[in-house]
Amino acid sequence: MKNCIESAILANIGTEKNVTALDRCATRLRFTIKDITKVNIEEIKKLEGVIDVVVKNTLQVIIGKDVEAHYQWFLDNTKINGVKAKEEIVYNRAKNWQIGLFALNNTATNIFMFLMMYVSYYCVGIAGLLLGTTSMLLTAMRIFDGFTDPLIGFMIDKTNTKFGKFRPAMLLGYVIMFFACIILFTTTHLMPEGFRVIYFVLIYGIYIIGYTFQTACTKAAQACLTNDPEQRPTFSLFDGIYNTLLFAGAAILVANYLEPKHGGFTQGFFNELLMLALIGAGICTILAMIGIAKKDRTEFFGLGTKGPMIKFKDYFDVIKNNRAIQMLIFAASTDKLAGSTMRNTAVVMVIYGVIAGDFGLSGSIAGYTTLPSLLILMVGIQYARKMGQKKALVVSTWFAMGFASILGFMLLTQDMTQLNFSTLNLFTVAYALVLILMTASMNISGNIVIPMIADCADYETYRSGRYVPGMMGTLFSFVDKLISSLAATIVGFAFVAIGFVDSMPVATTPATPELLYVGVFLFIGMPMIGWICSLIAMKFYPLDKEKMNEIQGEIQRIKMESSIEE
C-alpha cells in the first residue's frame, strides 16, 4: 500500500491528535508530541523504511534522504501542517496578571509625561523664561531625547544580568527621573537669571536619559512577555485602561482641585503635583518589575540562545531592510505629533478655558467620558485579538477621523459656552457622545502600537536571526520623538503668531476668532493629518495576522532545531 509507512507511523504515535507540530531536517521527521506515553516507539522502529527513532525534545523518526516526500504526505493527508498552523505553534504565553502588572511600566512613564506637560507653565510663570525660548528648548531637548534612544536600546540589548535584561533598566530609569524632576521643579527658578536656561537644559537632559531607560523597556520587553499574536493586544487593553484612568483622573485633579486650591500654576501647585507624580510612578514601576520578573530570562529572548553578536551598525541594516518597523514608525510618529498638539495643556486651555469659558470643563469631560471610553476600548481590543493588530489600527483610525470631523464642525459652528454639565442640554450630550467615540477610537489605535513593535522585533528575528527588542523599541522611539518633538514648537509658534509672545493663554484670556481657529486646528486639524499618514503607512505594513503566525512558526522551528543540535 502506497504511503503505508506514514499511516503506520501516524497510528503508532497516537494519531494526529497527539501531535502539536511536525518538522523535518535532512534525514528525520520531528514530531512534537502531547503525550509521549501514547507513542509505541518499538513498533515504529520495526516499520520498513524507518532507520531509527530518537526521543529528545521531539520524537525523531529517522527516515533517510527521502524524508521530504514523507513530510509532504503528512501535510497533504492530515491536519498537521508543519509549524505554520496556529494550533501547532507552542506559544510563549503570559498570565493575564503578568501583562496587567507590566503595563504599569508605561503608566509610570506617562505619569512623568503628564507632569512634564506643565513644564512650560513652570518655565514661563515661575522661572521667568520667554514662551518662544521655552518652546524651542523643549523641542531641542526632545530631539536630544531621540538621539539617546539608540544608544540606550543598544545597551539594553547587550545587557543580561542575573536580574534580567529589562528590570535593571526600569529601576534605573525611575531613579534618574525621580531626582531630576525634584531638582528641576524646585530649584530652576532659584538659579541666577543668566544661568537658568543652561541649568534647565542640563537637568532636563538628565531627566530624558532616565525616561528613555524606562520607556524603552515598555516597548522592548513585549517580545519576551508573550509571542502569541492573539494575546499581545491584551497589553493594549490594560495599557488603555490605565492611561484613560490616569489622564482623566489627572485632568480632574488639576482642573478641579490643584489649580483652584493654589490659585493657578504657582510653586505650591507644582510642589504638590510633583509629590503625587513621584509616588504614583514609583508604585507603578515596582509592580511592573514584579510582572515581568518570570519572563525576563534568556529562554524567552528571541531564539532562546545568545544569537549573533549585536553591533551598533546593525541599526542601519534594520532601518534599510525591516519594512515593518519603517511603516510602523511613520504611522505612529505622525499620529503622535498630532496627538501631542491636541493634548497640549495650552490647547486644552484655549478650547475649554477660553472658548467654552470654563477650564474646569476639561476635568468634568474627562470624568464623564472615562467609563464609556473604557467600554468601547475593551470591545476594540477584543476585535484586535480576533482580526489582528494591523486591521484594528486601520479600522479604529477611520472611526477616529469620522468622529473628529463631527467634533470640529461643532466647535466651529456652535456656541461652546452652551457646554455645561451642571444643567445638561442637548448640545452638551451630543458633544460628550462624539468626544467619547473619538477618544475611544484614538485609544485603540494609539495603544495597539506598543505590542506591534514586538511584532516588528519578531519579524527581525525571523528575517536576520537577531534578537534586538531594545534596538527595535528605541529605533521606533528615536524617529517618533524627532517628529513629535515638533509639537511644542508648533503649539508655541501658533500662539506666538497671534500675539502670545510673553505668556501662554489662560482662563482669563478673552476669546477671539483667531484663538478659536488656532485652537480648532491644533485640537482637530493636526490629528486628522496624522491619521491620514497612518492609513497610508498601513498600506505597506506587512505584518497581518497570517504573517505573524508564519513568523512565530518559523522561530519555533529554529528553536527546535537548535535544541536538538545541542
Is 1.20.1250.20 the CATH number for 96-558? Answer: yes
Of 55-59, 146-150, 344-348, 441-445, minimum mean pLDDT range: 146-150
What is the second-level CATH architecture of the domain 4-82? 2-Layer Sandwich (3.30)
How crowded is the C-beta side of 143, counted as CA atoms within 13 Å? 9
Q: What is the pLDDT of residues 190-213, one digit of tens each?
A: 888 888 888 888 898 899 899 888
Confirm whether 4-82 and 96-558 share one CATH topology: no
Amino acid at 264: G
Burial (CB < 10 A; 0-12, 13-18, 19+), residue 35, is exposed
Give the three cell numbers for residue 271: 510642589
Strands (E), 177-308: none
Q: Residue 444's Cα: distance from chain center in Å?
A: 11
Amino acid at 310: I
Rounded Cα gap, residues 227 and 548, in angstroms? 9
Q: Which pLDDT band holds residue 303 (cuts at 50, 70, 90)?
A: low
Burial (CB < 10 A; 0-12, 13-18, 19+), residue 195, is exposed
Nearest to 457 by CA among 165, 80, 208, 176: 165
Residues 6 or more apart whose CB falls under 8 angstroms from that of 219 comprise 450, 453, 454, 469, 472, 473, 474, 476, 477
User: At 482, which helix (H) or strand (E)?
Assistant: helix 469-484
Q: Which pLDDT band holds residue 228 (cuts at 50, 70, 90)?
A: confident
Rounded Cα gap, residues 331 and 456, in angstroms? 14
Does 160 or 187 have the greater pLDDT score? 187
Rounded Cα gap, residues 57 and 559, in angstroms? 11
Give the three cell numbers for residue 118: 506643565
Q: What is the pLDDT of residues 63-109, one digit of tens each?
A: 888 888 888 888 777 777 544 434 455 677 889 999 999 999 999 99
CB of 535 closer than 8 Å to CB of 394: yes
- What mean pLDDT is predicted for residues 509-522? 91
- The rounded mean pLDDT for the chain is 83
Q: What is the DSSP string of 133-191?
A: HHHHHHHHHHHHHHHHHHHHHHHHHH--BTTBSSHHHHHHHHHHHHHHHHHHHHHGGGS
Residue 170, pLDDT score: 94
Residue 481, pLDDT score: 65
By residue count, the chain amounts to: 566
Say whether pLDDT at 287 is over 50: yes
Residue 2, pLDDT score: 43
Residue 387, pLDDT score: 79
Say whether pLDDT at 399 is over 80: yes
Residue 273, pLDDT score: 93
Q: Tell me the domain boundaries of the chain.
A: 4-82, 96-558
CB of 252 closer than 8 Å to CB of 363: yes
Rounded Cα gap, residues 183 and 204, in angstroms? 10
Largest CA distance in the chain: 94
Residue 84, pLDDT score: 41
Nearest to 137 by CA among 217, 51, 227, 200: 200
- What mean pLDDT is predicted for residues 23-40? 85
Sign, CA dihedral 176-296-291-448, equals positive
Q: Which residues of 49-77 are buried (b: 16+ CB within 10 A; e: fewer)?
A: ebeebeeeebbbbebeeebeebbebbeee
